[in-house]
């Protein structure tokens, strides 16, 4: 019997625009000011440093690491705050959460906790638990082991949990491998299949009618 619905965050509940702005515009802008470069040169420098670390290391996701590495004298909360007006929930999110409110709702994201809290804002109230793969499990990707940990922490068997997200490997294949149910959210409509949905309203309908 299904009891829990787990949601990815970026690209699923919230558009990726905010995260992109923080890393690709905010961080380079601070670097430019601090080190006296123009913005394009600073951006090239900053992205070069990101690439040296790479997304397989935890530091990639860690704002404080980058602010220290670049010697930026701003609090990470203040940088997030600059772009907070750019946080965009997808339009059907609240309606879908309302429709699914009979289930326990959780978030399973690979974003660092500081991003999750800012991006979800008041939406946090909908969720019983929020899991950050990087902050809570020290895992850089949402592997099947992350989903097993989520189930264990919730005290649920994997068959009681369904995960929805917009990354085919990390939000669909990985939870299936861990024994959960999963729906692949394809907002661009590139894939089709019985477990592919175009938005969260469609996901809610599928879950409630299955
Ligand atoms: Mg995503």
Does position 1 have pLDDT exceeding 80, yes or no? no
Burial class of residue 78 (count of CB atoms within 10 Å of its CB; 0-12, 13-18, 19+)? exposed
What's the pLDDT tens digit per position in 66-107? 999 999 999 999 999 999 999 999 999 999 999 999 999 999
Distance 168 CA to ligand 1 centre (A): 9
Distance 203 CA to ligand 1 centre (A): 15
Distance 140 CA to ligand 1 centre (A): 13
Distance 144 CA to ligand 1 centre (A): 16
Distance 88 CA to ligand 1 centre (A): 14
Does position 18 have pLDDT exceeding 90, yes or no? yes
Which comes out higher in pLDDT, residue 58 or 163?
163
Mean pLDDT over 23-33 rounds to: 97
Distance 41 CA to ligand 1 centre (A): 29
Domains recognised in the chain with CATH numbers? 4-16+88-209 (3.40.50.1000), 17-85 (no CATH)
Distance 44 CA to ligand 1 centre (A): 25
C-alpha R_g of the chain: 18
Closest CA to 13 of 183, 166, 197: 166
Share of the chain above pLDDT 90, in %: 90
- Compute CA distances 86 → 9, 44, 167, whole Å: 15, 23, 22
What pLDDT sits at residue 56?
Answer: 87
Distance 167 CA to ligand 1 centre (A): 6
What pLDDT sits at residue 139?
Answer: 83
Mean pLDDT over 166-182 rounds to: 97
Phi/psi for 20 (5° steps) reads: -60, -40
Alpha-carbon gap, residue 106 to 6, rounded angstroms: 5
Alpha-carbon gap, residue 164 to 108, rounded angstroms: 9
* Prediction pTM value: 0.93
Distance 40 CA to ligand 1 centre (A): 28
Locate the DSSP E strands across the chain.
Answer: 4-7, 104-109, 129-132, 161-165, 181-185, 196-197
Distance 36 CA to ligand 1 centre (A): 35
SS (H, E, C) 86-124: HCCECCCHHHHHHHCCCCEEEEEECCCHHHHHHHHHHHH
Distance 42 CA to ligand 1 centre (A): 27
Closest CA to 106 of 132, 136, 127: 127
């Amino acid at each position: 019997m299904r009891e829990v619905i787990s949601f990815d965050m970026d690209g699923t509940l919230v558009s990726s625009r905010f995260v992109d702005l923080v890393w690709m515009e905010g961080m380079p802008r601070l670097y430019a000011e601090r080190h006296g470069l123009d913005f394009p040169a600073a951006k090239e420098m900053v992205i070069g440093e990101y690439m040296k670390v790479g997304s397989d290391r935890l530091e990639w996701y860690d704002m404080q690491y980058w602010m220290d590495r670049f010697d930026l004298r701003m609090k990470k909360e203040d940088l997030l705050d600059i772009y907070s007006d750019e946080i965009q929930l997808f339009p059907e999110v609240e309606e879908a959460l309302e429709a699914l409110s009979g289930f326990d709702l959780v978030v399973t994201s690979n974003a660092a906790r500081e991003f999750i809290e800012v991006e979800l804002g008041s939406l946090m109230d909908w969720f019983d638990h929020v899991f950050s793969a990087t902050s809570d499990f020290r895992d850089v990707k949402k592997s099947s082991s992350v989903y097993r940990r989520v189930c264990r922490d919730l005290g649920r068997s994997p068959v009681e949990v369904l995960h929805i997200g917009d990354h085919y490997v990390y939000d669909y294949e990985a939870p299936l491998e861990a024994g959960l149910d999963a729906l692949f959210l394809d907002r661009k409509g590139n894939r089709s299949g019985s477990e592919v949905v175009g938005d969260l309203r469609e996901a809610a309908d599928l879950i409630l009618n299955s």
